[in-house]
């Protein structure tokens, strides 16, 4: 789902870095700071799992790729800011050491996959929690993934709008390629993954019962 | 005039950031070709290794995606679209990856990141782990190869991943403790 | 450590486990070693004689020490390019003391992981990444906790 290096021009990637940088400072202080020591083990386990599920990706023509993100569960358990920090760490490691994603597009990827998606998941979960905890977690994760893929396809569409020389694929094609698998398959799997991970965490007593 | 060490790595890192952003703005295929040739000359030492890494990790995605998009655009439009921008898209991705891999191999990351404590800390933890774990992963792959009468395929790797995974996590737990102690004893705050 | 244990348990549950510890692994590389043969003028080999090899990086302590084989050959794997000193000492005090040039192509530093892993390494990428992340968080956690303790 994340955009590789060379798919977005500095017109987009530089402002995205500018927007993400202060958020990173804030999120990293809050998440990895001295006050959050006790939550680090659970965060680490979830982040490692997120890395694993994000490495398994299926390329999608016109869009980028389809894969789980595994960050919705981070947002639901530890707040959207922690999800943003952890997802950024995953993206950074993938970009610098494993050649997936990229450094110039790190801001865009972090905002789309780490902030908007988990943020939406967290909001939906909060709104629906009173009805049913499980349904809220599932629909939060599903909605978060839709928001992330919509954001990525919007950014790619914007790039096409700025320069069709640069990104030749128009927005409708990108959006269709990204959203169809995301709406039908990936979102559902992400929701199930989130449910599974949360029940596992609860069983391991790393998460308070609702 | 060669710069002293932490400064040199910092300059290289800053240059890399500027260069990748600049490269990500190039759309002209000829300019990309010239930039690619210049990068090959500038980073000729270790170029083969960097190219192999690019071919293994970046190329399938960076080349496959534009190709698939081109085919899709053909399908949608009914006639084959001009391939130039699609080629440029793939070339840009490959070029940036090559520059990144070559440059990071030349940078001493730890001294360079020293002035920013959080980044330095993360780099200490990440680099130490990655090196140890990559060695272990490669050794496990060799071990697997020596156990099997044939060349192990992906299926064999997946089947034996459990043993490797267990070893990796044992090692990473031990490493985490050692690195934490080492950082404390060296006065990290 | 609960998290690491938890992560390990999860990943191990996904993949079938096979124990494989304390193995001696090996690696074959062709065209990487340098062989030197010592022989007398009449063609007789300096067989089974003491020999030493000094790296250009350290001219004092031998890089390799051993005996020539039945045909007077010795072989070593250089790790840096440059002039390597090879000494073969005969029991009678005769001997060979020469310098061998090693080209950068042969003696290039064999850095990092043996990269012959190829697609195998690629298949293990998610696991390596996960272990790295687990170790990062584990390290941060332990370091913080001991500092506050």
Alpha-carbon dihedral sign for residues B165, B167, B169, B171: negative
Task: Yes or no: say if B81 and B70 are a contact pair by the CB < 8 Å rule.
Answer: yes
When scoring C7, C133, C142 by the number of chain A Cβ atoms within 10 A, the one with the most, hence best to mutate, is C133
Residue in B122, B146, B171 closest to C26 by CB: B146
Please, what is the Cα angle at B109 between A101 and B44, to 5 degrees? 75
Task: Give CA angle at B179 (B178, B182), nearest 5°.
Answer: 85
A52 neighbors C127 (Cβ within 8 angstroms): yes
Q: Residue A14 — very low, low, confident or very high, per pLDDT cuts 50/70/90?
A: very high
Q: Which residue of A has its CA nearest to B67?
A: A61
Q: Does C22 touch chain B (CB under 8 A)?
A: no
Burial class (CB in 10 A: 0-12, 13-18, 19+), C92: exposed
pLDDT of residue C14: 41
Does C120 sit within 8 Å of B166, measured CB to CB? no
Q: What band does B104 get if pLDDT is binned at 50, 70 and 90?
A: confident
A52 → closest Cβ in C6, C126, C144:
C126
C138 contacts on A by Cβ (under 8 Å): 41, 44
Look up tokens 């390799």; give the residue: C64
DSSP string for residues in A156-202: HHHHHHH-TTT--S-HHHHHHHHHHHIIIIIHHHHHHHHHHHHHHHH
| pLDDT for B125 beyond 80 | no
Per the listing, tokens 């979960």 go with A125
3-class state of residue B92 by DSSP: helix
What is the rounded distance in angstroms from the CA atom of residue C135 to the CA atom of residue A16?
A: 29
Distance of CA A208 to CAs A78, A131, B75, Å?
11, 18, 52
Q: In this prediction, does ipTM exceed 0.85?
A: no
User: Does the distance separating the beta carbons of B20 and A4 come in below 8 Å?
Assistant: no
pLDDT tops 50 at residue C123: yes
Is the CB of residue B157 less than 8 Å away from at least one CB of chain A? no
- The 10s digit of each residue's pLDDT in A188-199 is 989 998 888 888
Q: Which residue has the higher pLDDT, A147 or B137?
A: A147
For chain B, give the mean pLDDT: 78
Residue A18 has what pLDDT? 93
3-state secondary structure of C119: helix
Q: How far apart are CA A172 and CA A181, in angstroms?
A: 15
Is there a contact between A62 and A169 (Cβ–Cβ < 8 Å)?
A: yes
C130 → closest Cβ in A34, A51, A97:
A51
Give the closest of B137, B169, B184 to C7, CB-based: B169
Interface residue C82 vs chain A (CB under 8 A): no
Tell which of A51, A56, A61 to mutate to test the B interface (max B CBs under 10 Å): A61
Judge whether A88 is closer than 8 Å to chain B, CB to CB.
no
Q: Is the pLDDT of residue A116 over 90?
A: yes
Average pLDDT over residues C111-120: 42
CA distance A182 to A147: 10
Give the residue ranges of DSSP H helices in B43-113.
Answer: 47-53, 59-77, 84-106, 109-113
Partners of C102 in the β-ladder: C82
Least confident piece of the model among B102-106, B181-185, C134-138: B181-185
Which chain C residue's Cα is nearest to B159? Answer: C16
pTM assigned to the model: 0.69
């Amino acid at each position: 789902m994340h955009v590789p290096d060379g798919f977005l021009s500095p017109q987009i990637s530089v402002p995205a870095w500018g927007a993400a940088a202060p958020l990173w400072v804030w999120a990293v202080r809050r998440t990895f700071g001295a006050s959050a020591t006790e939550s680090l083990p659970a965060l680490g386990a979830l982040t490692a799992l997120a890395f694993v599920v994000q490495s398994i990706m299926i390329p999608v023509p016109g869009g980028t790729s389809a894969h789980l993100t595994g960050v919705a569960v981070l947002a639901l358990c530890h707040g959207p800011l922690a999800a943003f920090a952890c997802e950024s760490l995953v993206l950074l490691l993938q970009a610098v050491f494993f050649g997936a994603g990229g450094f110039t597009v790190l801001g865009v990827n972090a905002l789309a996959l780490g902030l908007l998606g988990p943020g939406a998941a967290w909001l939906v979960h909060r709104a629906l929690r009173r009805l049913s905890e499980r349904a809220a977690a599932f629909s939060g994760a599903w909605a978060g993934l839709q928001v992330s893929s919509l954001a990525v396809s919007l950014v790619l569409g914007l790039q096409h709008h700025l320069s069709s020389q640069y990104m030749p694929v128009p927005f409708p094609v990108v959006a269709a390629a990204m959203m169809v698998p995301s709406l039908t398959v990936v979102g559902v799997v992400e929701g199930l993954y989130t449910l599974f991970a949360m029940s596992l965490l609860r069983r391991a007593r790393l998460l308070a019962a609702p | 005039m060669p710069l002293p060490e932490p400064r040199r790595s910092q300059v290289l890192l800053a240059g890399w950031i500027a260069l990748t952003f600049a490269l990500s703005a190039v759309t002209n295929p000829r300019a990309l070709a010239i930039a690619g040739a210049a990068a090959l000359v500038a980073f000729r030492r270790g170029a083969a290794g960097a190219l192999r890494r690019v071919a293994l990790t970046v190329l399938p995605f960076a080349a496959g995606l534009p190709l698939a998009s081109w085919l899709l655009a053909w399908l949608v439009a009914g006639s084959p679209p001009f391939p130039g921008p699609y080629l440029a898209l793939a070339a840009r991705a490959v070029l940036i990856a090559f520059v990144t891999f070559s440059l990071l191999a030349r940078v001493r990351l730890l001294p360079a990141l020293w002035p920013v404590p959080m980044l330095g800390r993360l780099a200490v933890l990440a680099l130490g782990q990655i090196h140890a774990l990559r060695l272990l992963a490669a050794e496990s792959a060799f071990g697997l190869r020596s156990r099997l009468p044939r060349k192990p395929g992906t299926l064999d790797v997946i089947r034996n991943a459990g043993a490797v995974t267990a070893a990796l996590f044992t090692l990473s737990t031990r490493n985490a403790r050692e690195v934490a102690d080492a950082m404390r004893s060296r006065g990290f705050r | 450590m609960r998290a690491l244990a938890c992560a390990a348990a999860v990943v191990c549950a996904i993949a079938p486990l096979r124990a494989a510890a304390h193995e001696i692994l090996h690696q074959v590389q062709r065209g990487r070693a340098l062989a030197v043969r010592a022989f007398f003028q009449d063609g007789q080999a300096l067989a089974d004689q003491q020999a030493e090899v000094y790296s250009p990086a350290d001219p004092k302590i031998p890089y390799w020490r051993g005996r020539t084989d039945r045909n007077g050959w010795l072989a070593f794997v250089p790790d840096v390019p440059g002039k390597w000193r090879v000494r073969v000492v005969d029991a009678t005090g005769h001997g060979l003391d020469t310098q061998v040039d090693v080209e950068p192509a042969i003696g290039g530093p064999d850095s990092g992981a043996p990269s012959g892993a190829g697609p195998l390494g690629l298949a293990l990428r998610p696991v390596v990444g996960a272990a790295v992340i687990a170790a990062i968080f584990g390290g941060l956690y332990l370091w913080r906790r001991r500092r506050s303790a």
